[in-house]
Structure 1
């Protein structure tokens, strides 16, 4: 009873007692189930082992019997004594096994099997085997066979069957043991399930007891507390005889409830007094809220201004600034949409407005509220009804409030206009001053952007000017840092960099690039360093050893306001060409003085001899011939100078005719053979004819210079091979020698005037350096080009390429053509007789057959009867009802005349119309008639003349024509 009382005084003790009871019950049930499980397993193992042992003995006895029978047969068959001994040994082993089997034979089946094994053993080893041995030793084989046939074999077979049946019996028993084990395990599982259910029931009972003894009273306490909190009477129903914590709590709760009721009356009195004080505080709070509202309004105003000002100061990009302004302004003034447009440029930014709406606002910017803003110079608000497009799904009438704000520049002009719309409520009038203040801030920001853009444009312009200067320019600060460079400077010292990569670099950084360019020679850096330290020299000249380039550097200090030194400007000028020109001029003067003085000395010397001495006639003729030759030499030299001067001035004229190249080359070779005693000159041509259009004298001069150089620069002789061949578009003449050759890298300079390769072998040869320059000018004037391939010490190959002329074989004996020559028929339509006569004469001099027509009708009739090869057409034909445009249209409509080339010769400058109607060329009067003849000839040569071949005029033909 004491223990029971002790437990009931504490809820925790009651809970622990229940838990201990549950644990003991759990342990008891677990022990019982575990014992049953162990007993079942032990019985299964014991029974199973017995059957396994029996089966093992049976198999072992069977094995020994089989071995014994095998050995008996072996002995009787082979008379092997060892096998008989092994039979005796097997007999002993079987006897031992039978004794073991007797011990484990517990069932009737086991005993029966034991008796059969003993009986068989006695028959074999005590009766049959001894007799068989005796008969065998006596040599009586038939007796031995009689024993086997008399029943021994049958008994052996029967025993084997019995053993097999016995083993099957044992296997069946083993299966029964396993089946019994499974049945026992199933029972144990069922017992465990019942035990688990019992435990759950006990747990449920314990839980319910705890709920009833603890949970329900606590719930009652909570309900009572809520009732008391509502100010109502409550009753706590707890067992009066409870001695645990809940009983103590119920007593304390009752006492507390009584005290609360006592104090409630005091609180009611105090509450009435507090209500009066609260009403007084509420009045004071209203006053404070009004003051706080004003403070918040002022704070928001300052915040909006600061936010906008910060957004204005963070960008120098105009578009970004406009986007920031309109976005922040819409947020600050609670506008639903807005736009800002600059008045001087097509720049704007919008918020909540479509592109169409923005374009419309910009289009009518100066026709809307612009003039009111200009006059009023302050923001204003317009109230209007909502448009249908602004109502969305609203069907009732509504209003929108548009706010216009002008932004003035520093010159008091409207720089931009802002417009905002609000659909919810109108803009308050007291915010207008704030809007004006914000507009002033925006105006200042736009002025700053404008100044920044102007500064940037000025900087870009200055940089562009510097970049277009052909000298490298570098501004170095007083501390050695690079302040500004141009692109030419970068090309000189760092081709893979641009001017941005140098600006702001310190002395150590950018001088490394200079050192990489100049190598170990630091003379330029020394000059720059001295210039920065005010030890200025007028200039510095440097020649690169590897490339031969010459650079001249100038330095000049840069001052601001003539007092503050900003830095030093360095100008890097590439003087290579000037240096080479000066060098060539010096060489030219030396060469010319030599080339002129040598023949002059001969002329003066021989002339002096002729004057001062009486000489024989033969001697006089010899001296005069020498003087004549030297005079021709001087003439050729002076002619070269004059040719170069005319070519440079663009005054060189060419009288182009059809020339047969092969005959010209043969003539030149014949003339040059006098100076080519050591040389073998050959001409190779696979062409039937090699015809070009050119000036005969100039072409001869070009070929003479090239072949003369080949002879002159092959002082040891050798073969000079002249080849004539065609390519796709050109007729080529190459002159290949086996002379000195040209050093690598000098080929590009060969065609410069006065240039001569600086080599002692070539200095002995002489020359002015003008020959190849003249050849290049002549070839270029004929629409060709000259190229050179050379190897030092092997020889050179100069190739002159001319436009190829394609002619076809003559097949017609038309009376309009002269025998052996092509005669192009040209129709000239011109109403001005003087001009027509001039054009006709020019074309006839060029070898054309010309037919002149003054009127358009006459020309059309003649052209339709006999189609010309080309037409020279005037547009304005006064004495006719048809003009040049109509003639062109009619000719292009006819199949027979649509491909005839037409060259327009008119005073009207309507080239586009002429080309559109199909003109081959369009010449505006006045023009040179030679230009007309060349245009027609080039056109006809490109188009060809069907059924004809061009046979060029020979000198005899020209003489005949002249006659």
Structure 2
């Protein structure tokens, strides 16, 4: 036990641990006693209450079953039912079970007596009374039953019920007494808890006071002594025998104080020695300070001079160079103000600390004195003058201002610039003048270098501007593969890539091409061979850029030589994307046209051969001829497209413009195209009553026939084709919509280009030349309209055409003299045509229509026939036999007063309607055309002439073939 006490005293923590352990042991012991007592009291109470309640419940059960037996017996006596009889014995069994359960309880003598009395009574009751009463009831002997009932049979049952009620009252009184006893014991337990809590509190107070005494007091004394020691007082230590941390700390602190006092004496002696050494070091420091100041001054001078030299060596901007020269020279020379002035045409300058007014005065009077002397002597000179009020600053006494003028002389001996430095109160020494004169020579070299750079830069910029005007991308490489120069077109071609710009290298450029060029290997080999000077298989090649957009580029190179030596390579990149695409479209177009021409031509030749070589029935002959006619119309349409496009591109396409109703024209288009396909339904929607436009009706009809035909072709699954007309501002809007294949988004920009066809297998099978939409666009634009398309791929397209609304009346036609008519005929017609087959066809058509026809093949023959017997009309070809010109026939007829009124109808493969109208032609039909169009036009013109109406100039026919 003493060892444990000694072990605990050696540590404050151990003592605290022991105190806390004791406290918690006392707490745990008291809590266990209180909780155990409380638990035992509650358990005892609950057990007694349970037994009392069980006994009461069992006794009540016995009374209930006994009463039920008497009740069931009386029911049987009254009704003689078997159910009541059986229930008597069942209740007997239940009563026996209740008595047995009651007997197993903790009973007193009175309770045992009651149980035995009830059991004996009912045993006797069932043994003797039940048989007798049952017999009386069965025999209906009521007197016997009354006799037995009055003999006190139920007295025992009543006694049991009475006892049960009394026992119930006794149980309630006992329960009340037990509750009072439980309350009393609970009060005692609470009092014990209060006493226990007070004891815990007293123990805690005792523990805290003991800790304060054993730990707090020693620490307080130790802190007090430490404060006194810090103030320099002498401290008397009370030694302690404590073995804990405080005791050890107190003893260690005492030893530390003793050591500090001993070392203090040593430090006083050393301090005196150091003071002597400090005085000596102070003197040395003052000497070193002076040397350091001189060194820093030299360093500052060298730093400023180096900055100035670095500035003039590396700066190539004139304004910045002059600014840095004057600022650094003022700092270097310890001047207050300074200025440098170039003697060029602009008299560029830079100043430091000088006002604009002084600068302007100096520049205006420079040629009066300063500049002539500097040019003559080429040496610096000083001027000393009285300081003005503004220059004196804070000086109270009068002072002088010294100005040093320094010439900056070129290597050629010409003064290039003048520099002026100014000091107030002090002058420039001879050494400073010499140093600044030497500096001026370096400045002269810098200015010459600047002028050379500016001249070179002007030449370079001129070259760059010239290169930027070239439409091709240009790169200049030196012998090491560096890109020396590249023009703006090259920058745009490479999308601003730094690898292809000036300052880059060939290696970086080749790496860039690997990511942006398709099959970059050939191009890299070409560039590498060109840069190395090796022989090239060809001087140019074609490559394809893939990023940022696809382009086809042709590159060629030229070796640059100077005095027979190679010094670089010039690379030229030409964007040939458009030409490449055109070539591709042309190649595809040739293939397509070959197919489109040969297919119908094969049908024509095949069926014609069958007609010539075989004897066929009339029905089959008609079928073959119909096929030949349809295929011939296909060929005519294809050829017309070629000719229309050629005339449009050459500007020779003519248009017969007049006021027309767009609504009627669209209605005729719907009528013509409604039967093209049984799988398509053509719908025409409009809310306008009339839509006047000014244009060529045939060409406008060609637009909408083409669009509707395309809508049908590119809707192979069938569906509705919707044609709508509406007003949009000052224009009519026509929409042609389908629900067919649709157009890919990437194909929309090129859709109206000639020869262009969407690259899609479904469309290739449909056929076509790729000229229709380009012709449509040209016709729309000629009519001051516009066309655009909106499409969703796979869901259909909508082509929208807008045409300006016509609001003015066209010129009225003029009357012509009416020619004479032969009685009994439709009229006399002279056909001037050199082609025998066409001549026969026209004669056959006109004769079938009742005309008297004559023919001629040459100009002179025709003029002679017309003069001998003037016809009612002339059908004239412009290209006659022997290369004769049909225009001469028209001119000579118009010069003859007797012949000028004869209507002339031109039948030609050339489309020169404007010239024909100027010469007075009555009609113009472009070959090929349906023969009935010619006869109908002649009949209509002659009929209008006989009716004294104006002779209208008919346009070319609607051309069902187109």
TM-score (norm 2): 0.45
TM-score (norm 1): 0.45
